[in-house]
Amino acid sequence: MLKISNIHHSSLAQKCGLKAGDIVLKINDWEINDIIDYLYYSREEKLVIEYLRDNKLYRVGLINRKLKPLGIEFEYEMVRRCANRCIFCFIDQLPRGMRKTLYIKDDDTALSILSGNYITLTNLTEKDFERIVKFHLSPLKISVHTTNPGLREFILKNPKASLILDQLEYLAEHRIEFDAQIVLMKGINDKFELDRTISDLSRFYPCIRSIAVVPVGLTKYREGLFALEPFSKDDAKEVLNQIAKWQQKFKQEFGTKLVFASDEFYIKAQKKIPNYEFYEDFRQIENGVGLLALFKRQFLAALNKLKPDYNVKKHITLVTGVSAYDFLKKLMKVFNRKFPNIRVDIVKIVNNFFGHTITVAGLLTGKDIIEQLQNVDIGDYILIPSCALNHENRFLDDIHIDQIRDRFGRAVFPVENHGRKLLYYLLKGGEED
């Protein structure tokens, strides 16, 4: 059952009398256990919705000839929890006192479909797999890490983890597409094991759409956890060379590179980020695969449409993490050829909160930003990467973006990971179009 949180104005749901607080039990006599059930069973032209209101049972019928969305939003609290104890789990590496939601370990098929979250498949029953096929829940995002059954069981600390190849075989037989993720750990699932995993996964092409290889994230809060070490510059080069060989092979066999390294590996190896065309369909963008190449393309495409302007003058502070600092410095040099009187000071925030091995902008905290902007000439306003914020504009350490504004007395704007959006805020700030 699902509890309604909001009914859209003038929607079919409002017209048939449904209200926030109602609990949907069944649609056309099918039990509604989660959002996936609702989305699947509400696609009929004729619907009978059974629901509870104030502990009383009601039924309402409606006709939806155009199969439009019903206009219902639900409270989604029944998140399926993770059954693993992964040796690299980032949540286990969080200190106390952060936002409560950060400590929830989800492994939920619904979130994989709706939000692109990665799942391990270890908490799914036979009926769950049958439902994936019945509803054709595709594509899925699957955390594989390794196809070696014993090694995967060790990494995930779950006996069911060893079933991964059989599970993927079942999905592929029923034409369920999926993208795979490999969180790479030095001395654990790299080198020979990485070759084995990539080779095994390629057998499922074309149902497997892409494979991302990302380095494990290690914070300074690992006391009592399994010993892992970060990749060095030479390690990263070796990983990229290893992946390049597979890309060449798959390009010849399938017409796609299939497997891609995250941008972090290129930065660690101090190698140039490949160009936009290299990343094909950008299917692993949420894993930081091709993110910088896409951002550059967006930024320069928008910039090239503008005429030079030597009259506009302003001073902007642009906050970023260690990883993207050099990349943004190069972009700003190009920007200043057209807008030489817009001074953009890029401030590289070192992650003291999580530790210096964490270099991505998405894991910056408000505390680090405030501390490291103390002696900076802020200028007119501050730009913050929005990926470091939640929907309430709070950082991971629960500091609100307004606290930065109040501390420095300057406007602060969150900027999405989109090149055109950054260009807009450089030129317009908080001004309306």
Q: pLDDT (tens digit, 9 = 90+) per residue, 189-219?
A: 999 999 999 999 999 999 999 999 999 999 9
CATH architecture label of 91-289 = Alpha-Beta Horseshoe (3.80)
Q: How confident is the model at residue 104 (pLDDT cuts 50, 70, 90)?
A: confident
Compute the distance between CA of residue 259 and CA of residue 257 in angstroms, rounded to an integer: 6
3-class DSSP state of 298:
helix
User: Which amino acid appears at position 332 of this protein?
Assistant: M
* Fold match between domain 91-289 and domain 296-428: no
Across the range 176-180, mean pLDDT stands at 97
Which backbone phi and psi does 294 adopt, to 5 degrees? -65, -45
Which backbone phi and psi does 213 adopt, to 5 degrees? -115, 115
pLDDT at 401: 96
pLDDT 10s digits, 341-383: 999 999 999 999 999 999 999 999 999 999 999 999 999 999 9
130, pLDDT greater than 80 = yes
User: Which range has the worst mean pLDDT, 20-24, 109-113, 161-165, 327-331?
Assistant: 109-113
pLDDT at 221: 93
Give the residue extent of every domain in the chain. Answer: 2-75, 91-289, 296-428
Q: What separation in angstroms does the CA of 229 have from each of 88, 186, 219, 389, 424?
A: 11, 7, 11, 28, 40
User: Which range has the worst mean pLDDT, 67-71, 238-242, 295-299?
Assistant: 67-71
pLDDT at 99: 73
User: Which range has the worst mean pLDDT, 90-99, 177-186, 302-311, 420-429?
Assistant: 90-99
Sign of CA dihedral 389, 320, 227, 240: positive
Q: What percent of the chain has pLDDT over 70?
A: 98
Across the range 77-90, mean pLDDT stands at 83
Sign of CA dihedral 238, 151, 117, 257: positive
431, pLDDT greater than 70 = no
433, pLDDT greater than 50 = no
97, pLDDT greater than 80 = no
pLDDT 10s digits, 243-266: 999 999 999 999 999 999 999 999
- For domain 2-75, give its CATH number from 2.30.42.10, 3.40.50.620, 2.60.40.10, 2.40.160.210: 2.30.42.10
Whether CATH 3.40.50 fits 296-428: yes
pLDDT at 110: 74
User: Which residue, 240, 248, 245, 296, is CA-closest to 268?
Assistant: 240
Across the range 209-235, mean pLDDT stands at 96
pLDDT at 78: 54
pLDDT 10s digits, 292-334: 999 999 999 999 999 999 999 999 999 999 999 999 999 999 9
How is the beta sheet containing 208-215 ordered, strand by strand?
Answer: 140-143, 178-184, 208-215, 259-261
- The answer for residues whose C-beta is within 8 angstroms of residue 35's C-beta and 6 or more apart is 2, 74, 76, 110, 114
